[in-house]
Structure 1
Amino acid sequence: MCAKKISRDYTISFPAIRGVQAGKEYYVTMCPLKLLPTMFQSTISDIPPELRAQRELNKGRVTPITNYLLNNSDDYIFSSIAASIDSEIEFEPYGTDIVGRKMGTLSVSMDARFVINDGQHRVAAITEALKADATLGNETISVVLYIDCGLNNSQQMFADLNRYAVRPTKSLSILYDHRDPLARLANDLVQKVSVFTGMTEKAKSSISNRSRKLFTLSGIYQATKTFLQKKDGADVTKEECKLALEFWETVADNMQDWKAAVKKQVATSELRSDYIHAHGIALQALAIAGNSLIKAEPKTWKKTLRKIKGIDWARENASLWEGRALIGGGVNRSQKNIILTANLIKQTLGLPLSPNEEIIERNYLKGQHEN
């Protein structure tokens, strides 16, 4: 154990629960948010990486977390902060029975140094949020406190805490996000658009070769966001929800291969292998073209959209797709290639290109001519 007995003269006390991991004691306490700025004051920005036990604070990550807390003050959730105490400590249990020995008061020196092992961006965001709304100060967050046994141990703790951390896929995040209006819309579209129902991968953001799925939830989300020209977290009106549903249903009505896949008349793996329209780039490009079409023809867009039936989506048509949606025979989802694919759809629909689309198209044609 690295802990030492503490002098009782100048201490800070926390109600805590004592646990044991790897034969070492650690403590869990509920900390009022208003105490976090005082507990975790140190900055590491000027300390070399090899002499610290955490990554440098990324201020760009702090603001979104702050906004999340302020915008959802009655419905937010934060996981525990993990920190080390560089101080003498003393734990006084409440009792002598099994439960009593695990619960008690943790006392630490007044000059104790708390070092965050995991959660520095949460702490920084909470600190900023308190400046805007001091009433949050009496709410609490759980803090897991470890005894600091030196720099090497703290660095190893950081490495271990992050060793197996894996971000959920974009599709799974959208599936479980009931707060984001666009996420709710994307999930609704999967339930209501005929070709999306049963054909959408909801847990992963990519599709394996053997999968029967044809679309990903993240692909539908991003394409619908593009179609409605929405920013992250923007509200979606009932009219926009209805329009998105009508648009994707109309697109589906004019994509015979998609309907054949729903009826199991063709394998989705075959479509992915042979056709551009079985990839996310097609959804994105259709969304761009669809937005322009509805603006140009708000009353007759459904009739005009039928023209996409005439597009040859076959990947073997290299003269049409190489450099536009394909690079070296492989589908390329760069923004430039999405725009080039949308350009082809817009031209098929008889729509003019925007100035930026014109520039990208000219550069593409110039490159094709030179090759």
Structure 2
Amino acid sequence: MANSYSFAAIRGVQAGRAYYVAMVPLKTVERLFRFDEAELPPQLRAQRELNKTRIPAIARYLTQNAGEYVLSALSATIDGALRFQTVPGERSIGTLLIDMAATIVINDGQHRRAGIVEALRERPHLGDETIAVTLFPDEGLARSQQMFVDLNQHGVKPSRSLRLFYDARDEAARVTRAVVEAVPLFRDLTDLTRTNLTAGSRKLFAFSNLHTATSVLIEDAGLKVTHETPDQAVDFWRAVVDGMPEWRLAGRGQLAAAELRRDRVHAHGVALEAIAIAGARVINERPDGWREALGRLGGIDWDRANAAQWEGRALLGGRINRSRTSVLLTADAIHRAITSDERSTNDADADRHLD
């Protein structure tokens, strides 16, 4: 075939139709693969409208991780002439020839395509590396639209907890992993795969909530920790656990985690983050006495039925509320509760001075 693109490829069969998987240099992605731009109405497009806010993040990922990035395959349809030439003695391995006049339209992966194009402007040397592309002969717009649905409807984004737990580039996530490993109660009662725990879950916390709380603690208290030296964060959470008798009962299996989530505010992410904020404040206020203050956490009435304490803070209409305002108001309430001795002493001193 004259005037054609040539790709090493593998031929496969799905639903009785031939398709091809080719390795395509990144520098050819922009000119080879067309995207139906947003000016076309949905009924004339074969995929979603391009969300341009996603592109810089993909480009940054490629440029900042040029030595270890991973890109999943693109999917596209070929509207034009093509021919597959097998290697002698093989039925599925060969060369795919595509007429240069053919139109190759992205069915899935348009944001990856756009991110690649942007990344190559900063790192042109990546252009000789390749991406896998699954290519389907075009069978009309209706078929392409159905392919888009089929390719996307079963995809499930991993939970935030699992993404953080696996992320070796996020230092705060690595510190949180070190905390989980060092604190037995967290090791036993932290769900590493779910962000939203089910009503009957035997776990008490989600890894994502502990990660958020630990990140806030490190920043607000100015802790000098890494995943290799997490001692300050570990010491803080050990002190919190020591001050929370109901957590310890759950850790020993004497109290169900599900019951705590049902009945207590402290068994939710809003409280975990609020404890970190209040605790960081106490560390800054009394560097030598913060452990004693955290020991008073168990004396707080954490019952969700205690509307006077929690409604408008951790609760809104009786339901747990994770808004930033709720977290801060809950942190204020916790801070007042665990530092009440200091205020009482100061008040007594002031009274004696007046006498």
Same fold (TM over 0.5): yes
The code of the aligned residue for 2:261 comes to R
The code of the aligned residue for 2:230 comes to C
| Whole-angstrom distance in 2 between the partners of 1:70 and 1:333 | 34
Residues 181 and 236 of structure 1 are in contact (CA less than 8 Å); yes or no, is this contact kept in structure 2? no
1:42 Cα deviation from its structure 2 partner:
4.2
| Whole-angstrom distance in 2 between the partners of 1:304 and 1:320 | 19
1:112 Cα deviation from its structure 2 partner:
1.7
CA displacement 1:156-199 (0-9 Å, x = unmatched): 00000011111111112122222221221222211111320211
| Whole-angstrom distance in 1 between the partners of 2:162 and 2:58 | 20
| Whole-angstrom distance in 1 between the partners of 2:29 and 2:51 | 18
Residues 194 and 249 of structure 1 are in contact (CA less than 8 Å); yes or no, is this contact kept in structure 2? no
Q: 2:58 aligns with which of 55, 61, 65?
A: 65
Partner residue in 1 for 2:346? none
1:11 Cα deviation from its structure 2 partner:
1.4
Residues 38 and 236 (structure 1 numbering): CA distance in 2 closer, same or farther, change over 3 Å? farther
The code of the aligned residue for 1:175 comes to F
1:116 alignment partner, SS class: strand
CA displacement 1:42-96 (0-9 Å, x = unmatched): 451211111111111112211121111111111111111111111111111112x
Does 2:159 correspond to 1:166?
A: no
Residues 213 and 276 of structure 2 are in contact (CA less than 8 Å); yes or no, is this contact kept in structure 1? yes
1:292 Cα deviation from its structure 2 partner:
2.1
The code of the aligned residue for 1:101 comes to R
Does 2:249 correspond to 1:269?
A: no
Does 2:21 correspond to 1:31?
A: no
| Whole-angstrom distance in 1 between the partners of 2:84 and 2:139 | 17
| Whole-angstrom distance in 2 between the partners of 1:247 and 1:192 | 12
Does 2:86 correspond to 1:93?
A: yes
Q: 1:191 aligns with which of 181, 206, 211?
A: 181
Residues 92 and 105 of structure 1 are in contact (CA less than 8 Å); yes or no, is this contact kept in structure 2? yes
How many pairs are equivalent? 337
1:197 alignment partner, SS class: helix
1:196 alignment partner, SS class: helix
1:208 Cα deviation from its structure 2 partner:
2.3
Residues 236 and 33 (structure 1 numbering): CA distance in 2 closer, same or farther, change over 3 Å? farther
Does 2:22 correspond to 1:16?
A: no
Question: Which moves more between the two structures, 304-313 or 82-91?
Answer: 304-313
TM-score by length of 1: 0.86
Consecutive unaligned residues in structure 2, runs of 5 or more: 341-355
Partner residue in 1 for 2:318? 329
| Whole-angstrom distance in 2 between the partners of 1:129 and 1:257 | 51
**Aligned-residue CA RMSD in angstroms?**
1.9
Partner residue in 2 for 1:151? 141
Q: 2:171 aligns with which of 174, 178, 181?
A: 181
Runs of 4+ in 1 over 4 A off after TM superposition: none
Partner residue in 2 for 1:368? none
1:298 Cα deviation from its structure 2 partner:
2.9
Residues 228 and 240 of structure 1 are in contact (CA less than 8 Å); yes or no, is this contact kept in structure 2? no
1:305 Cα deviation from its structure 2 partner:
2.4
CA displacement 1:88-122 (0-9 Å, x = unmatched): 11111112x4xx12111111111221111111111
| Whole-angstrom distance in 2 between the partners of 1:157 and 1:76 | 27
Residues 19 and 27 of structure 1 are in contact (CA less than 8 Å); yes or no, is this contact kept in structure 2? yes
| Whole-angstrom distance in 2 between the partners of 1:38 and 1:298 | 61
| Whole-angstrom distance in 2 between the partners of 1:214 and 1:344 | 22
1:323 Cα deviation from its structure 2 partner:
2.0
TM-score by length of 2: 0.90
Residues 91 and 104 of structure 1 are in contact (CA less than 8 Å); yes or no, is this contact kept in structure 2? yes
Residues 42 and 203 (structure 1 numbering): CA distance in 2 closer, same or farther, change over 3 Å? closer
Partner residue in 2 for 1:84? 77
Residues 32 and 138 of structure 1 are in contact (CA less than 8 Å); yes or no, is this contact kept in structure 2? yes
The code of the aligned residue for 2:80 comes to S
Question: Which moves more between the two structures, 284-293 or 121-130?
Answer: 284-293
Partner residue in 2 for 1:301? 290
| Identity across the alignment (%) | 45
| Whole-angstrom distance in 1 between the partners of 2:319 and 2:300 | 19
1:142 Cα deviation from its structure 2 partner:
0.6
Q: 1:130 aligns with which of 108, 115, 120?
A: 120
The code of the aligned residue for 1:307 comes to R
Consecutive unaligned residues in structure 1, runs of 5 or more: 1-7, 352-371
Residues 275 and 120 (structure 1 numbering): CA distance in 2 closer, same or farther, change over 3 Å? same
Residues 163 and 238 (structure 1 numbering): CA distance in 2 closer, same or farther, change over 3 Å? closer
The code of the aligned residue for 1:181 comes to E
Residues 178 and 230 of structure 2 are in contact (CA less than 8 Å); yes or no, is this contact kept in structure 1? no
